[in-house]
Amino acid sequence: NAGVTQTPKFQVLKTGQSMTLQCAQDMNHNSMYWYRQDPGMGLRLIYYSASEGTTDKGEVPNGYNVSRLNKREFSLRLESAAPSQTSVYFCASRHLLDGRAVSYEQYFGPGTRLTVT
């Protein structure tokens, strides 16, 4: 049981390049999340997917797109990377019951450290 996995672990991009961060979970959770972690800003939600086939914006969605490929996988795409997107990105998943979060633990991936020059 690998939990939540993310690829790649590290990435360096030039301004304007594009890339996709991959996330997968094997816990049969129905909801998945993408966060960015910046010093002094804490964890900020970029996008989330409450269930397969749905996605919603979080706190800081500009410059990002997401795809909920299936129940297991939730990818984050940067179409034209900017230095302001230099950050550590975390994927997470949890189980929703009847569309509502219950007191189940939210599980996090190991993170992707992205640098945009």
What is the contact surface with other proteins in residues (CB under 8 A)?
A: 4, 31, 33, 35, 40-45, 48, 50, 58, 90, 92, 96, 99-101, 103, 105-106, 108-111
Q: Which is nearer to other proteins, 78 or 109 (CB)?
A: 109
CB of 91 to other proteins, least distance (A): 10
CB of 74 to other proteins, least distance (A): 13
DSSP assignment of the chain equals: ---EEEE-SEEEE-TT--EEEEEEE-S--SEEEEEEEETTTEEEEEEEESSTT--EE-S--TT-EEEE-SSSBEEEEESS--GGG-EEEEEEEE-EETTEE-SPPPEE---EEEEE-
Q: Which is nearer to other proteins, 14 or 100 (CB)?
A: 100
Evaluate the omega torsion of the peptide bond into residue 110 and state whether it is cis, within 30 degrees of 0: no
Q: Which is nearer to other proteins, 17 or 86 (CB)?
A: 86
Tokens of 70: 């299936």
Q: Which is nearer to other proteins, 69 or 96 (CB)?
A: 96
CB of 36 to other proteins, least distance (A): 11
CB of 6 to other proteins, least distance (A): 9
